[in-house]
Chain A
Amino acid sequence: MAMVQPRNLKYRVWAARLFMILFICIIMFPFLMIISVSFRSGNFATGSLIPDNPSLEHWAMAFGIPWENADGSITQPTFPVLIWLWNSIKISVLTSGFILLLSTTGAYAFARLKFRFKQSMLTSMMILQMFPAVLALVAFHTIFDKLGNFIPWLGLNTHGALIVAYLGGVTMNIWLIKGYFESIDNALEESAAIDGATPWQAFRHILLPLSVPILAVVFILAFIGVIGEYPVASVLLQDMDKLTLAVGSKQFLNPQNYLWGDFAAAAVLTGLPITLIFLLAQRYLVSGLTSGGVKG
């Protein structure tokens, strides 16, 4: 607590509090609205924040359950939301796993081993990560189109292609893990080396067990990054049941087929788990995020 206090402190605190509450109301408006919309009946229904006659029809659609309307007609789910969610989770988990493997070994080399071009490799990787994949979408489309002629599971419209395409995004993760490795004293590894351990053994049995926290952070960061990735996925995936959530969700708000209510339920259903993961891990993620990467 500061020693010198202005006299009108009390009023200032109340002004600040009022401003905060107003601001948070504005910030929360979209979220509250979307939850409200997901319980309204019909796709064009308007009304107050608390729905007048709440209905679960949009939630049924989101879970892929046919809904019986009041007049007895049955509405079939328009989009396979749960399949999209599963695709997203599958792709994100696999990609994050591969990214973790690649970046951990890479970070170990950059933090502990000596080899030629080390510094220039690091610098060029830092510059290259400024070029997002969205700039080379034509190339991604063409490359995987052609690769598909030779290796079918790497062609357009396959999840394999998408996972492989994401593997270029290791730089920030290498940077994070490298920083963590460097903060660990290497006396342990040196004594292991004196006892005859190979660099691989020192890495596998000494450094890795000490680094579990940062590995978890990198995994979650990669997971959140991949699950929200839109540009590359939108170019590589085409079939309705192959889409990820990020690509599929857009289909709800097509001007010709505007499904605002169904979108709301799907958005809450799929956005909630991701948001919760982020908020729970927030304390640990923030340091990683602020060290240079901007979430996309």
Chain B
Amino acid sequence: MKKPGAAGAVLSGKGLKWALVALIDLALLYVVTLMYAQGEIAFALVILLLGGIGTWVFTSEKAYNFRYVYPSLLGVILFVVFPLIYTVNVAFTNYSSSNLLTFERVKQIHLAKRYQSGDDKYTLALYQSGENYQLQLTDKDDNTRAFVTEGFAKSKEKLRINASQDIQPAGDKLAMRNVIKMRTSLKKLTVVLPDNRELVMTSLREFGAMAPLFTEGEEGSLINNQTGSVAKPDFETGYYLDENGKTMTPGFTIYIGWDNFTKVLTDPGIQGPFLKIFTWTLIFAALTVVFTLVVGLLLACLVQWEPLKESGIYRVLLILPYAVPAFISILIFRGLFNQNFGEINMVLEALFGISPEWFTNEYLAKSMILMVNTWLGYPYMMILCMGLLKAIPEDLYEASAIDGAGPIQNLMNITLPMIIKPLTPLLIASFAFNFNNFVLINLLTGGLPNMIGATTPAGATDILVSYTFRIAFGQYGQDYGLASAIAALIFLVVGAIAWANLKATRSVQEQ
């Protein structure tokens, strides 16, 4: 990101340019090395590749013209293309809150586990001198062997301290009740003896030796030092299995092929909700486009109508829903529609004696969403239509007025046919936008009311993106793999819409 900022210097001054490029490359190389060392090969490769191309673009005279595009392309590649590819990649894994880490990391976690080997036991005595504490640990089998730790302060952090036979404890020996007060701090301590054995608190009076629970065996297997049994990694499920075939948490991330996709398409607990949500997404997006278009076109016609002299004021007021940030207006509606203390139900109660359950009844929730979205979206359509209406030659209406046509006939036979073609790509874009209108659903209903019989969190008003979001970031288990698989399916739909949009735009431009 430093490149665009430094563009001025890079493009003109020679020496400065080389220095900057070298500096950025050094920084990138450092990061790449770090990433490679930690096993993030994909990240390292992407940065290496983009950094390499960047260096070439900004140093070679041949690539001069690319210097202007490269920074913006870099933005698009890193934050549009790469996340898309990454999502597809995750769709083929079991990446989730239970299988979050790489195999190597999980193995390290298991290898770092300790157990009390029980061989050595030490009686503890705690000494205090001001804020400084010291432990004296005496071997239970041999009273003459006593180790004293270095001083430590009371803290809630994990602490490793050394102990040796040469240190003398300072201060007073604490009574048992004061030791009990210190026990949270003591529990966090690991005492390292001169021969590198580690001791931790095992009871109120004792410290005991710890040993690694596992030693690494062949092919990543783990040998349990306590029982002698062997735990083997299972690359089908992404877990270590102990000798009884029980899974050991945490699991690791593995590629599981098309499993997520087959789950979406065949598992009854997911497939049912998925199809329902997919249908609702299409209906929601289509109806939104129709409603906003109808309202927007009507208002545009009225505002452009010359006999209505004061239309300038109307125009500003009508654009207002578009000017207010969407997140604020959606939340305002969320409050206004509230079943118990919302103002809308109060008005309805006063006028008709009804108070609809906007958030618990599926159909009412859906109609509320469509109402709010029409409210939010009609100004955009109105602005579009106003521009297009201006382009229709006035004499067409003159001619129709002479023939005695009414407003409805004018609309059907002149206005609509004249604007529908340039409007098509914009309508498609609006459909695509609403197909992924996550903000509206998430802020207004959050997808509620929930569907019954779904194994993943799925709601009646959820659209595909909000459903994906709930699977990935919901409160109950985060299944990134499954969410990415659904996102990948959405890519296909969006790709089709984008293609249709491109076709429609081309046909308008060719006119």
Q: Are A275 and B320 in contact, CB atoms less than 8 angstroms apart? A: yes
B76 contacts partner chain A, Cβ-Cβ < 8 Å: yes
Interface hits, A226-245 → B, CB 8 Å: 227-228, 230-231, 234-235, 245
A101-144 to B contact mask, C-beta < 8 Å, 1/0: 11101101110011100000101011111111111111111110
Query: Complex Cα distance A168/B299, Å?
Result: 35
Query: Complex Cα distance A133/B65, Å?
Result: 29
Q: Are B402 and A4 in contact, CB atoms less than 8 angstroms apart? A: yes
A194 contacts partner chain B, Cβ-Cβ < 8 Å: no
Given contacts A9-B307, A30-B333, A44-B341, contact A142 B498 (CB under 8 A): no
Q: Are A253 and B80 in contact, CB atoms less than 8 angstroms apart? A: no
A-B contact count (CB 8 A): 283
Q: Are A13 and B308 in contact, CB atoms less than 8 angstroms apart? A: yes
A86 contacts partner chain B, Cβ-Cβ < 8 Å: no
Q: Are B90 and A138 in contact, CB atoms less than 8 angstroms apart? A: yes
B412 contacts partner chain A, Cβ-Cβ < 8 Å: no
Q: Least Cβ distance of B474 to chain A in Å? A: 12
Chain A residues with Cβ under 8 A from B64's Cβ?
199
Chain A residues with Cβ under 8 A from B384's Cβ?
290
Q: Are B68 and A113 in contact, CB atoms less than 8 angstroms apart? A: yes
A16 contacts partner chain B, Cβ-Cβ < 8 Å: yes
B391 contacts partner chain A, Cβ-Cβ < 8 Å: no
User: B75, B384, B426, B473: which has the most chain A beta carbons within 10 Å?
Assistant: B75
Chain A residues with Cβ under 8 A from B351's Cβ?
none
B286 contacts partner chain A, Cβ-Cβ < 8 Å: no
Interface hits, A250-283 → B, CB 8 Å: 250, 252-253, 258, 260, 263-264, 267, 270-271, 274-275, 278-279, 282
Query: Complex Cα distance A6/B215, Å?
Result: 95
B contacts with A: majority SS: helix
Q: Are A267 and B328 in contact, CB atoms less than 8 angstroms apart? A: yes
Given contacts A4-B401, A246-B327, A274-B325, contact A171 B502 (CB under 8 A): no
Interface hits, B126-166 → A, CB 8 Å: none
Query: Complex Cα distance A140/B73, Å?
Result: 18
Q: Are B331 and A137 in contact, CB atoms less than 8 angstroms apart? A: no
Query: Closest chain A residue to B32 by CB distance?
Result: A150
Chain B residues with Cβ under 8 A from A143's Cβ?
43, 82-83, 86
Chain B residues with Cβ under 8 A from A290's Cβ?
383-384, 387, 426
Q: Least Cβ distance of A144 to chain B in Å? A: 10
Chain B residues with Cβ under 8 A from A174's Cβ?
72
Which stretch in A19-27, A62-70, A74-82 binds the other chain? A19-27
A212 contacts partner chain B, Cβ-Cβ < 8 Å: no
Q: Are A2 and B306 in contact, CB atoms less than 8 angstroms apart? A: yes
Chain B residues with Cβ under 8 A from A246's Cβ?
325, 327
Q: Are B43 and A253 in contact, CB atoms less than 8 angstroms apart? A: no
Q: Are A138 and B87 in contact, CB atoms less than 8 angstroms apart? A: yes
Chain B residues with Cβ under 8 A from A249's Cβ?
327-328, 331
Given contacts A24-B318, A102-B4, contact A13 B307 (CB under 8 A): yes
User: B320, B323, B487, B497: which has the most chain A beta carbons within 10 Å?
Assistant: B323
Neighbour of A109 across the interface among B40, B68, B84, B394, CB < 8 A: B68
Q: Least Cβ distance of B77 to chain A in Å? A: 8
Query: Closest chain B residue to A118 by CB distance?
Result: B69
Neighbour of B72 across the interface among A44, A46, A106, A140, CB < 8 A: A106
Which stretch in B5-13, B177-185, B220-228, B360-368 binds the other chain? B5-13
Neighbour of A105 across the interface among B4, B325, B473, CB < 8 A: B4
Q: Least Cβ distance of B370 to chain A in Å? A: 15
Given contacts A127-B502, A130-B501, contact A231 B439 (CB under 8 A): yes
Chain A residues with Cβ under 8 A from B327's Cβ?
228, 230, 245-246, 249-250
A167 contacts partner chain B, Cβ-Cβ < 8 Å: yes
Q: Are A235 and B90 in contact, CB atoms less than 8 angstroms apart? A: no
Neighbour of B71 across the interface among A1, A106, A231, CB < 8 A: A106
A89 contacts partner chain B, Cβ-Cβ < 8 Å: no
Chain B residues with Cβ under 8 A from A224's Cβ?
325
Q: Are A30 and B397 in contact, CB atoms less than 8 angstroms apart? A: no
B335 contacts partner chain A, Cβ-Cβ < 8 Å: yes
Interface hits, B76-104 → A, CB 8 Å: 76, 78-84, 86-87, 90, 95
Q: Are A164 and B81 in contact, CB atoms less than 8 angstroms apart? A: no
Interface hits, B284-342 → A, CB 8 Å: 299, 302, 305-308, 310, 314, 316-329, 331-336, 338, 341
Q: Least Cβ distance of B453 to chain A in Å? A: 24
Q: Are A253 and B331 in contact, CB atoms less than 8 angstroms apart? A: yes
Query: Complex Cα distance A69/B136, Å?
Result: 57
Chain A residues with Cβ under 8 A from B299's Cβ?
23
Q: Are A295 and B87 in contact, CB atoms less than 8 angstroms apart? A: no
Q: Least Cβ distance of B50 to chain A in Å? A: 13
Chain A residues with Cβ under 8 A from B76's Cβ?
125, 128, 168, 170-171
Query: Complex Cα distance A50/B307, Å?
Result: 35
Q: Least Cβ distance of A236 to chain B in Å? A: 11
Query: Complex Cα distance A175/B293, Å?
Result: 25
Given contacts A132-B436, A230-B443, contact A149 B38 (CB under 8 A): yes
- Add 8 more A-B contacts to A4-B398, A126-B502, A199-B65 (CB < 8 A): A9-B307, A106-B72, A135-B487, A167-B78, A174-B72, A204-B8, A279-B319, A282-B319
- List 9 A-B pairs, Cβ < 8 Å: A6-B401, A98-B4, A168-B76, A200-B11, A230-B438, A252-B331, A274-B323, A289-B383, A292-B429
Return the 7 tightest CB-CB contacts between A and B, nearest first: A168-B79, A106-B72, A109-B68, A136-B83, A139-B83, A130-B498, A278-B323
Residues of chain B touching chain A, judged by Cβ–Cβ distance below 8 Å, are 1, 4-5, 7-8, 11-12, 31, 34-35, 38, 40, 43, 64-66, 68-69, 71-73, 75-76, 78-84, 86-87, 90, 95, 299, 302, 305-308, 310, 314, 316-329, 331-336, 338, 341, 343, 346, 375, 380, 383-384, 387, 394, 397-398, 401-402, 425-426, 429-430, 432-433, 436, 438-439, 442-443, 465, 468-469, 472-473, 480, 483-484, 487, 490-491, 494-495, 497-499, 501-502
